Amino acid sequence: MSDADSRTIVITGVTRGLGRALVEKFTALGHTVIGCGRKFEAVEAVRRALDPDPYLSIVDVLDAESVQAWALDVQDRFGSPDFLINNAGIAHAGVPFWELAKADFDAVIDINVKGPANVMRAFLPGMIARGSGIVVNLSSGVGRFAVEHYAAYVASKYAVEGLSKAVAKDLPAGLACIPLSPGVVDTDMLRDHWGEERSGQEASPAAWAEVAAPYILGLTAADNGESLRISPGA
């Protein structure tokens, strides 16, 4: 890959599932990959597994000051990213809303909504100053329709959709903010919350990334504000 074709890609939540699969695929394709995760051991495991090493940092997306410091470091080393992918997120146990503990509700809303907001707030000024860049906020099918027993998760993904579309309205020409549903993938989150039987029917994260990575790289400013979806089995 020539330098002209290489892209600088920032991804949150890189230690497992879709985030790790994207890091592995984008690195294999020769792009400059920058990522973050919350736990040192998990981040180091990803770093050691890949060659060349992606530039990974220990960052909690809920800590706005840490996110800001990370963004400044990244932009100083690599410039503003071509793609900013907000992947970090969590779910919760499948229970009726009134049985869901407040702490669990708050954690899902905080990480899934405030996390991407913190990251966009830190990186967008540099992307706007450069005049280009694509923000991809990982949403979900349940950000567009409701399911039972997952009230906080559904609410958080509806919020990701709305936040992305609102940010898209604010962006100048040349940039885009896109809510992207990954489709259903056989991740730890799927197994934890929807069961082993469902997980065995879906694409693995690695198989998903084979489709998702080129799809994301093909997004342009013309996609700004569009609710898009990847179909890994297509």
Q: Any idea which residues carry the catalytic annotation? A: 153
φ, ψ dihedrals at 29, nearest 5°: -80, -10
Count other C-beta atoms under 10 Å from residue 17's C-beta.
20
- Is the bond leading into 52 cis (omega within 30 degrees of zero)? yes
- Angstrom distance (rounded) from CA 213 to CA 154: 25
3-state secondary structure the chain: CCCCCCCEEEEECCCCHHHHHHHHHHHHCCCEEEEEECCHHHHHHHHHHCCCCCEEEECCCCCHHHHHHHHHHHHHHHCCCCEEEECCCCCCCCCCHHHCCHHHHHHHHHHHHHHHHHHHHHHHHHHHHHCCEEEEEECCHHHCCCCCCCHHHHHHHHHHHHHHHHHHHHCCCCEEEEEEECCCECCHHHHHHHCHHHHCCCECHHHHHHHHHHHHHCCCHHHCCCCEECCCCC
